[in-house]
Chain A
Amino acid sequence: GDSVTQMEGPVTLSEEAFLTINCTYTATGYPSLFWYVQYPGEGLQLLLKATKADDKGSNKGFEATYRKETTSFHLEKGSVQVSDSAVYFCALSDTGGSYIPTFGRGTSLIVHP
């Protein structure tokens, strides 16, 4: 079945540091890939998405590239801010199987001033 594996957290960084959160997936069809973010006390919200191989999703300075050859969708940001502290979820939605999104376990990011 479909699955998403994320690096375990928490990831702790200083402000302006470079961020990478790794995500790999297994899917039977041709999935769309997503990153969602959950700020404290809130629900998840879409951060960015990519629907086909080599697409790059981007939003709020975050980027992720759909790499079919390595089945990966790593999240990156060049300079994190304290306000980026949140939990980040990688997810996929597979057209070849159920369209229900499959979520990773989430990675907590803590950014210190």
Chain B
Amino acid sequence: DAGVIQSPRHEVTEMGQEVTLRCKPISGHNSLFWYRQTMMRGLELLIYFNNNVPIDDSGMPEDRFSAKMPNASFSTLKIQPSEPRDSAVYFCASSLRASSGANVLTFGAGSRLTVL
């Protein structure tokens, strides 16, 4: 398996533009997570899906952020309009939810977003 695949790896855009980040989870995994990582706030959970259904989006900063998972093999995180404070590394992770609670996440390499 190629692992969790994210694109783009790097994105530089101007304030006000729309940004779309993409994620392909590991085949067979039933949970998908979007995280944001910054120096100031560390690793923050934005939203997670179980069986393609959004379960908890309480970590989404505001209405400018939205996430979708139209099928088991694809998810997007969209920011519209983008602002400089959105600059961060965004990670997608997937897992096979286990009843034992040993929920091991596999992370993608991340998408580094810079908003000028």
Q: Which residues of A contact B (CB under 8 A)?
A: 29-32, 34, 36, 41-46, 49, 51, 89, 93-95, 98-101, 103, 105-106
Contacts and interface: CB of A to CB of B under 8 A. Distances in A.
B93 to A, nearest CB: 8
Given A43-B91, A43-B108, A103 B101 contact: no
B36 to A, nearest CB: 12
B78 interface: no
Given A43-B91, A44-B91, A100-B56, A95 B101 contact: yes
User: Which of B42, B99, B105 has the most CB atoms of chain A within a 10 A radius of its CB?
Assistant: B105
Given A89-B43, A100-B56, A106-B43, A45 B101 contact: no
Nearest to B33: A100
A72 to B, nearest CB: 18
Q: Is the interface of B mostly helix, strand, loop or mixed?
A: loop
A101 B103 contact: yes
Contacts of A93: 101-103
Contacts of A51: 100-102
A-B pairs with lowest CB-CB distance, top 6: A95-B101, A43-B107, A93-B103, A32-B102, A105-B42, A44-B107
B43 A103 contact: yes
A90 to B, nearest CB: 12
A100 B48 contact: yes
Contacts of A95: 99-101
Given A103-B43, A106-B43, A32 B101 contact: yes
